[in-house]
Amino acid sequence: MVVSRGERVSGAAINLILGFVGIISLFPLLFVVSMSLTPYGEVIKNGGFLIIPKSITFEAYKYLFQTKELPQAMLVSIFTATVGTGINLLLTMLGAYPLSRKSLPGRSAILLLIVFTMLFGGGLVPTYLLVKSLGMLNTLWALIIPSAVATYNLLIMKTFFEGLPEELFESARIDGASDLTILFRIVVPLSVPSLLTIGLFYAVSNWNSFFSAVIYITDPNLNPLQIVVRKLLLLSNSVENTTDIVVPTPTLQMAAVIIASLPVLMVYPFIQKHFTKGVLIGAVKG
């Protein structure tokens, strides 16, 4: 395939622009990392803005992990992100598979009711009363069950299942396979890109769980990581920072932000190709 000079120039220009935008996007992250690793006295000498530190200290991270609150909050967030994501995917699959079958009785009415929930919600007070009546207040299940199935993710997975060849389902039924067998032995192995995409959506949502914890959790031992990070970010309003403090508040704040963001940054590169493929496949048919 012959590429013209104009196409090469336009391609180079696009790559240059995207590279420039990428560098700009990395600046906030570099600033936060530098602030968390740099002694606060050096930050003050540089006017409060530093990208490349001259000296590095891990005192902020040591201090945070020596406290009882942050490790406990990390365990809570890890639990909600792993167990919660597993429950999310299981319930979403069990809901999307029958909805993807055109032979399901009342399929159109059920889909209409599901889409209706994207436009109108029950409200915060009724939801709180329901969670309370179920005995889930001050439990980790209050962070998982109320948001167990996201309508948007359910529709994406349904669309993906609809795109699978119908011949696979027909041959499996001829061999005597039940619907659950078809789902877990045929549909799920073929749906890895879609599952990883939706799993990433759910995992990030569970890891960043904040509002649910504010509403349903009052026990400090059950606070997720984002609640603890928020407390650290609010410390600057009540604590006077001086260079004499071993671990100043701004350094603790930046270290807490890195700790809260690092798991997602570590996982995403490994499933990026599946994530892109899953989003595209889910958007082809509607």
pLDDT-derived band at 244 (thresholds 50, 70, 90) equals: very low
Q: Do residues 183 and 78 both lie within one domain?
A: yes
Range of the domain at 4: 1-57
Write the DSSP assignment of 198-251 as a string of letters.
HHHHHHHHHHT--HHHHHH---GGG--HHHHHHHHHGGGGT----TTSSS-HHH
Q: Do residues 152 and 189 both lie within one domain?
A: yes
Q: Do residues 27 and 159 both lie within one domain?
A: no
pTM here is 0.79
Q: Do residues 193 and 278 both lie within one domain?
A: yes
Q: Do residues 10 and 118 both lie within one domain?
A: no
Mind listing the pLDDT tens digit for each residue in 24-77?
Answer: 888 888 888 888 887 777 777 776 677 777 778 888 888 888 888 888 998 999
Q: Do residues 112 and 53 both lie within one domain?
A: no
221/201 Cα distance (integer angstroms): 26
Q: Do residues 48 and 164 both lie within one domain?
A: no
Q: How many domains does the chain have?
A: 2
Q: What is the mean pLDDT of residues 92-115?
A: 90
The 10 Å CB-count burial string (b at 16+, else e) for 53-87 is beeebebbbeebeeeebbebbbebbeebbeebbeb
241/273 Cα distance (integer angstroms): 44
Mind listing the pLDDT tens digit for each residue in 1-28?
Answer: 566 777 788 888 898 998 888 888 888 8
Handedness of CA 204, 92, 158, 277 (dihedral sign): positive
